[in-house]
Structure 1
Amino acid sequence: MNTVKQHLTARAKVILVLVALYTVYHVFAYSGRKPTSEYLGDGPSTKGYGIVRGGTGNLGYGKDKRTGGLPPSARRIFEDKDPSVYDDYAVANYDLKQTEVFNKDKNKVVIVVGANVEGGVNRWKGPSEWSTEKLSIQNKKKYAQLHGYDIVVKDYTKAKKYSDDHREGWQKFDLIKQVMDEYSSGDWFWYLDLHTLIMEPDVRIEDLVFEELNSLMVRNLASFNPNGLVTDIPYTSPDDPVNLILSQDCGGFNLHSFLIKKTSWTMLLFDTLFDPVIYLKEHKKWTNGEKHALEYYYDKFAWIRSHIGFIPSKLISALAKDACPQLKYPDQKFFYNETTRDFLVDMEGCEFNRNCFDEMQYYMSIRENLHKSWISKLLHI
């Protein structure tokens, strides 16, 4: 009996020591930092949302049933500031990891994030959109700082709106071209939509994609062709260097997370995509903007097809569980799975009949659980 008591007493002491160490660590680690859950409301204009700490107030993963008051205006943090700078979305400094392949003297990776500070096209931008935007941008800034990447957040609303189209669907390549003007030829640019979340921050994009590119990438649509594009056209050269790396999902080309290299081919591609003659003829058919335009040109021109490579969707753009509702029996090779530790989740289409903020919170909680410290898991906190 005494042996049992001594064993229990020793175990209790160990637990108390661990709790004390954990408490001391958090007191010193987080002292002086601003709270991450800050109030993001817009004042009386959003009466009815029931906001406490930003977003919709919903903790679940479902549709938001609340109705708002008057259309909100931009948050007060943007008054008398250039909203495209995103100073208030800054993150704490992290120790930068030295990249072996891409550094200041060699070709590097630049992350480009397309945002929409001043509001949407079809409806007013509400508190949930503000909160989703903040979570997404901070997620990408932390990743960039961790690995020493440059990151540029560009505002859609500063660019021209194309007729008969939503600017959010047509500005990706415009924004990338603007950023490319500031960098050297040969640099890679990784475009990310706001409705994406990096789930494995310790994984470098070089290790994930470039180191395994020869074994992962395919240069044609023979194995997967959801939109029925032409599988082979004359004069396509598989020996040409790849300048655009993207994935396909149930809807075809995925432009929510892709890599493009600054080359003369890329500049010509940008000019071709917005050729006024073809644009005016075809833009009403291109309901998804740049995605359908790129598929159109890929289908027609060998010089474009020869420089594009495809990698698995789950590698850089695993879909959220409610994406691709048109599939009766969804193919799990497209969808995010925490057990396989997929790198990035793409909440494609969450702005249509779903709730982007709830989905962002849902995947943020999964991400936090995946990366809890061993002491947190031991103490179940």
Structure 2
Amino acid sequence: MQFALPPRRNLHAPYPNSSRLSFQRRRQLKAVAILGFTLLAVFFLLSQILYSSTGTSAVPAGTPSIVLVTVLDRALWSDNYIQKIIKNREDYAKRHGYTNFFANWSDYEPSLEGSPRSWGMVPAMRHAMASHPYSKYFFYLDTHALIMNPSQPLESHLLDKNRLESLIQKDVSVVPPDSIIKTFSHLQPEDIDLIITTDNEDMNPGSFVLKQGEFSRFLLDVWFDPLYRNYNFAKAETHALDHIVQWHPTVLSRLALVPQRIINAYSKESNGAGKDGSYKEGDFIIRFFGCDSDPKRNCEKELDPYYNLWAKKLKNE
């Protein structure tokens, strides 16, 4: 006697074949992976092309091209005096799309290791560059100085290629009046990373411009080396810079000396101005050089009449 077997149930009939589905998914995942890898590779190649063509990585939108660096001494100077300096710098930066880096001398005292506190300007510049890695130029300006011609952007006043070419002082003594080491006669604007002036005795780093890059990091590291800070130069970081520039052609080859009144005009009370280095109405900067080291002078009193002139210009605009 035979019994009819029940019909077999095809459990998979309503659904697609599992091996086929798995194969399709693998193909889709593989395609997505290839597409993702291709996009990453294209992005990487484009970033490398941009880097090789400009020498820097892509600059984020809104990055200021110029940073003004000022080191303040809140323990020594009155708040009123410091606020005047800050207002002067902030107005200038706002006009031209720059930014400010305000530091305190006390921030760098631990790293000075007993050296004169004036050395603090060097790590302050390095600090500013680390804080603004995509900005191109850093303009250090001593606390005891005012920007008197705020409508003048630094680009057209100093950094423009044609303008800088007209200002570079070639084949002149690095340390006046008669240093045997002279600036190179073949310098071109594209060679320059450090722009500074001299007075009647030295290069004076109370006002200078440094371009972001490997050279600037090298210079600041060398300048701040303990060997120089502990050498007891009579004028500390000023004489150290004189020495470095005269003995290191690498530095001299990236240096532009410009006329003093371009970025470092001395007030009438300041001794040591170079030839045609004293402030005249309309100049970009006035600097009260030495007002903080001469007991017969008072920085705040010397600054006030010029600050009032500057403030009057703002009201009349």
Q: Under a length normalisation based on structure 1, what TM-score does the superposition of the two structures give?
A: 0.60
Counterpart Cα distance in 2 of 1:220 and 1:105: 39
Aligned twin of 2:42: none
Counterpart Cα distance in 2 of 1:192 and 1:229: 26
Amino acid at match of 1:343: F
Amino acid at match of 1:349: G
Q: Do the aligned partners of 2:265 and 2:277 also contact (CA within 8 Å) in 1?
A: yes
Aligned twin of 1:226: 176
| Paired residues for 1:154-169 under 5 Å | 154-161=103-110, 162-167=112-117, 169=118
Counterpart Cα distance in 2 of 1:246 and 1:278: 20
3-state SS of 1:256 partner: strand
1:365 equivalenced with 2:317 (yes/no): no
Counterpart Cα distance in 2 of 1:164 and 1:221: 35
Q: Deviations over 1:266-294 (max 9, x none)?
A: 111122113334543xx21x232221111
1:174 equivalenced with 2:174 (yes/no): no
| Paired residues for 1:310-321 under 5 Å | 310-321=257-268
Match of 1:197 among 138, 143, 146: 146
3-state SS of 1:191 partner: strand
3-state SS of 1:207 partner: helix
Q: Do the aligned partners of 1:111 and 1:190 also contact (CA within 8 Å) in 2?
A: yes
Aligned twin of 1:346: 287
Match of 1:287 among 234, 246, 259: 234
1:146 equivalenced with 2:95 (yes/no): yes
1:114 equivalenced with 2:114 (yes/no): no
Q: Do the aligned partners of 2:71 and 2:102 also contact (CA within 8 Å) in 1?
A: yes
3-state SS of 2:179 partner: coil
Q: CA deviation at 1:365?
A: 2.7
Structure 1 residues 359 and 103, CA gap change in structure 2 (3 angstroms): farther
Counterpart Cα distance in 1 of 2:128 and 2:113: 24
Aligned twin of 1:5: none
| Paired residues for 1:1-381 under 5 Å | 104=61, 108-117=65-74, 119=75, 125=76, 129-161=78-110, 162-167=112-117, 169-184=118-133, 187-211=136-160, 212-222=163-173, 225-226=175-176, 228-232=178-182, 238=187, 241-280=191-230, 283-284=231-232, 286-324=233-271, 333-338=276-281, 341-351=282-292, 352=294, 353-368=296-311, 373=316
Name which of structure 1's ranges 192-201 and 265-274 shifts more when overlaid on structure 2: 265-274
Counterpart Cα distance in 1 of 2:99 and 2:216: 20
Counterpart Cα distance in 2 of 1:227 and 1:185: 38
Amino acid at match of 2:152: V
Counterpart Cα distance in 2 of 1:294 and 1:194: 20
Structure 1 residues 200 and 163, CA gap change in structure 2 (3 angstroms): same
3-state SS of 2:191 partner: coil
Aligned pairs, how many? 253
3-state SS of 1:176 partner: helix
Q: CA deviation at 1:142?
A: 1.1
Counterpart Cα distance in 2 of 1:182 and 1:163: 23
Amino acid at match of 1:145: K
Counterpart Cα distance in 1 of 2:140 and 2:158: 14
3-state SS of 1:257 partner: strand
Q: Deviations over 1:42-99 (max 9, x none)?
A: xxxxxxxxxxxxxxxxxxxxxxxxxxxxxxxxxxxxxxxxxxxxxxxxxxxxxxxxxx
Amino acid at match of 2:159: F
Q: Do the aligned partners of 2:288 and 2:302 also contact (CA within 8 Å) in 1?
A: yes
Counterpart Cα distance in 1 of 2:64 and 2:202: 30
Q: Do the aligned partners of 1:109 and 1:187 also contact (CA within 8 Å) in 2?
A: yes
Counterpart Cα distance in 1 of 2:171 and 2:60: 31
Gaps of 5+ in 1: 1-101, 120-124, 375-381
Give the CA RMSD over aligned residues: 2.8
3-state SS of 1:170 partner: helix
Structure 1 residues 335 and 182, CA gap change in structure 2 (3 angstroms): same
Query: In percent, how many aligned pairs have the same letter?
Result: 23
Amino acid at match of 2:207: S
Counterpart Cα distance in 1 of 2:180 and 2:143: 31
Q: Do the aligned partners of 1:236 and 1:305 also contact (CA within 8 Å) in 2?
A: no
Counterpart Cα distance in 1 of 2:312 and 2:87: 18
Q: Do the aligned partners of 1:192 and 1:256 also contact (CA within 8 Å) in 2?
A: yes
Q: CA deviation at 1:331?
A: 6.1
Q: Do the aligned partners of 1:189 and 1:261 also contact (CA within 8 Å) in 2?
A: yes
Structure 1 residues 336 and 104, CA gap change in structure 2 (3 angstroms): farther
Q: Under a length normalisation based on structure 2, what TM-score does the superposition of the two structures give?
A: 0.72
